[in-house]
Amino acid sequence: MESVIKNHELPDLSNDEISRFSRHLLLPEVGIDGQKRLKAAKVLIVGTGGLGAPLVLYLAAAGVGTLGIVDFDSVEESNLQRQVIHGIRDVGRPKVASARDRIKNINPGCNVITYNTALTSANALEILKDYDVVADGTDNYQTRYLVNDACVLLGIPNVYGSIFQFEGQASVFYAKEGPCYRCLYPEPPPPGLVPSCAEGGVVGVLPGIVGSLQANEVIKLIVGSGTGSQNPSTSLIGRLLLFDAWALKFRELQLDKDDNCPVCGEHPSIHELIDYEQFCGLKRTSDETPVEIIEPKELKARLDAGDSLQIIDIREPHERAIIKFPQAKTIPLGQMVRRIDEFNPKVDSVFICKIGQRSIFAIRALQEAGYTGRLLNLRDGLNGWAKEVDRSFPIY
């Protein structure tokens, strides 16, 4: 396919750059012109976590001239299992600052633009508009739909990747040439149905593999087929690559453009960015019963006072093997409603999970089943308890 770098006056390469990128220059598929396109290119990476780390590292090493990085998180110790762009010294620092330093260490000539902010409907178009390619390294549905829609509206290719436990996906969504993310996933899954990596886990090497595949697709979009190539590149446009790290198997699905897609179809109904939290069902509706919160220190005080409480641990067995919460009764989330008779509605029930998210769905299930007792959600789950009450508990 043709390069996305059009109407650019391609920059010259210095002797130092010719030396640095000589292994690229020896490839007829890249060559001098391809490397000049890489130098001229502007790529935005959304997220500098598991996927963003290899993306940033390899694109900087490849000689991409301008890298924009968007992330509002700070580096945590649990990130280091897979987010190889960060190190121990970076814990507590903004991820974009850590990533910028690493980029400059790899390629001092790279222009790095950092956005230490969340990508939202209010700022996405302004941030994305000056870039040639966007690479999506996010881990939530609302941002994936936001990135997709912004790329479609701006006519920019979106290099997509996602990971969970041992499975990964990669594709290129480019509405000018093929389907977009909405063509594949017209609607997001119900909230809570798909756990995040923080809740479900991920094998550390998986984001390295999928993020590297994304970096490869970005490079191909920039370089194009290569003037001297006898083997023109084939993009992942219209193809979804599936990878199972545990079974070590790749599969591929053909993707078709949806003519009725609301953002890239023949008669689109979406002409501007929308409220993606509402679209993904993350905003509480007015008729929804609120979930009552109990702070970790408040729970500690009530336990010390000898209050009668029903503490319900909804975590999976392999999580409870990491740490058990004393006095807690184990009821998995899937068994909650059918075991409703085990609850005493005259006694307050406190629900605990890892970070206080899955327990919300347990409470909602009991509310919808007509349970009348008081239901409390431990704020930030066992990780909140470890930080605020008992530091002998591990944070995982």
Residue-wise pLDDT tens digits, 180-202: 999 999 999 887 667 777 778 89
pTM: predicted TM-score of the whole model, two decimal places:
0.84
Residues 6+ apart with CB under 8 A from 199: 353, 354, 355, 357, 358
Q: Indicate which residues carry an active-site annotation.
A: 197, 353
Measured CA to CA in angstroms, residue 368 lies from 101, 166, 283, 371, 375 at distances of 50, 33, 18, 7, 12
The CATH architecture assigned to 15-279 reads: 3-Layer(aba) Sandwich (3.40)
Tell me the one-letter amino acid at 303: L
pLDDT tens for each residue of 263-316: 999 999 999 999 998 898 877 655 567 899 999 999 999 999 999 999 999 998
Helix (H) or strand (E) run with residue 269 in it:
none
DSSP string, 295-312: -HHHHHHHHHTT--EEEE
**Confidence check: pLDDT of 228 > 50:** no
Helix (H) or strand (E) holding 67: strand 66-70
Mean pLDDT on 345-353: 96
| pLDDT tens digits, 156-173 | 999 999 999 999 999 999
292-388 CATH: 3.40.250.10
| Residue that is written with structure tokens 């002409």 in the block | 271
The total number of residues written for the chain in this structure: 396
Strand-pairing partners, residue 170, are 161, 241
SS3 377: strand
| Dihedral sign computed on CA atoms, order 85, 90, 94, 100 | negative
Q: Is pLDDT at 92 greater than 90 in this prediction? A: yes
**Within 10 Å of residue 74's Cβ, how many Cβ atoms?**
17
What are the φ/ψ torsions at residue 324 (nearest 5 degrees)?
-105, 145
All residues at 6 or more sequence positions from 262 whose CB lies less than 8 Å from its CB, including other chains: 182, 268, 269, 270
Query: Helices marked H in 63-184 — which ranges?
Result: 95-106, 124-128, 141-154, 181-184
Alpha helices in the chain (DSSP H): 15-20, 22-25, 31-40, 52-62, 95-106, 124-128, 141-154, 181-184, 197-200, 205-223, 276-279, 296-304, 317-320, 358-368, 381-388
The stretch 41-63 carries a mean pLDDT of: 97
Query: Strand 239-244 and strand 133-136: pairing?
Result: unpaired
Identify the CA nearest to 202 among candidates 192, 210, 214: 210
Nearest to 181 by CA among 159, 165, 166, 213: 159
Per-residue pLDDT, 334? 83
Structure tokens given for 57: 């590292």
**Burial class of residue 2, CB neighbours in 10 A (0-12, 13-18, 19+):** exposed
The three-class DSSP label of residue 55 is helix
Q: Which of 238-242, 285-289, 357-361 is the least confident region?
A: 285-289
Cβ-based burial of 288 (10 A; exposed 0-12, middle 13-18, buried ≥19): exposed
Averaged pLDDT, 138-150: 96
Q: What is the pLDDT of residue 326?
A: 86
Average pLDDT on 101-125 reads: 97
What SS3 state is found at 277? helix
314 or 231: which leads in pLDDT: 314
Q: What are the extents of the domains in the chain?
A: 15-279, 292-388
Q: Return the DSSP state at 248.
A: T
pLDDT at 226 over 50: no
Is 227's pLDDT higher than 50? no
Does pLDDT of 329 surpass 90? yes
Side-chain half-sphere exposure of 355, counting CA atoms within 13 A: 11
- What is the average pLDDT across 382-393? 94
Are 183 and 258 contacting, i.e. CB atoms less than 8 angstroms apart?
yes
What the block records as the tokens of 335 is 């068994």
Q: What single letter denotes the amino acid at residue 186?
A: P
Q: What percent of the chain has a predicted confidence (pLDDT) above 70?
A: 95
Summary mean pLDDT of the chain: 92
Average pLDDT over every residue of 38-60: 97
- The predicted structure's pLDDT at residue 287: 59
97-120 residues labelled b (16+ CB within 10 A) or e (exposed): bbbbbbbeebbeebebbbbeeebe
Q: Are 271 and 150 in contact (CB under 8 A)?
A: no
Show the tokens assigned to 198.
């923080």
pLDDT at 280: 86
* CB-side neighbour CA atoms (13 Å) of 284: 9
